[in-house]
Amino acid sequence: MGERRDEFAEAGARARQALVREIEAEGVPADAHWRQAFAEVPRHLFVPYYYVPGTGGYERLWSGDPEPERRDRWLSGAYADTAIATRVRDGELVSSASQPSLMALMLDALDVREGDDVLEIGAGTGYHAALLCHRLGEEHVTTVDLDAEIAESARTHLAAAGYRPAVVAADGARGCPERAPFDRIVATCAIPSVPYPWLAQCRPGALVLAPLSTGLLLLRVRDATHAEGRFLATSAYFVALRGVAGRAPRQGPAGDERFRFFWGLVDQALDRNEALSLWLREGRPERERFGVTVSGERQWAWLDDPGGPYAWPLLREGISPRGS
Catalytic machinery residues: 95
Cis peptide preceding 321, ω within 30 of 0: no
- In DSSP terms, 229 is beta-bridged to 219, 292
Beta strands in the chain (DSSP E): 49-54, 57-62, 84-89, 92-97, 118-121, 141-145, 166-169, 182-187, 202-212, 215-223, 226-231, 290-295, 298-303, 311-313
- The count of residues in the chain is 324
Nearest in space to 102 (alpha carbons), one of 233, 11, 206: 233
Helix or strand or coil: residue 213?
coil
Helix or strand or coil: residue 158?
helix
* Greatest extent of the chain over all pairs of C-alpha atoms, in Å: 65
Beta strands in 83-189 (DSSP E): 84-89, 92-97, 118-121, 141-145, 166-169, 182-187
Judge whether 129 and 159 are in contact, CB under 8 Å.
no
- In DSSP terms, 247 is beta-bridged to none
Burial class, 11, CB count within 10 angstroms (exposed 0-12 / middle 13-18 / buried 19+): middle
Judge whether 173 and 245 are in contact, CB under 8 Å.
no
Instruction: Report in angstroms the alpha-carbon separations of 26 from 79, 104, 134, 137, 185.
Output: 16, 10, 22, 27, 24
Cα–Cα distance between 225 and 234 in angstroms, integer? 27
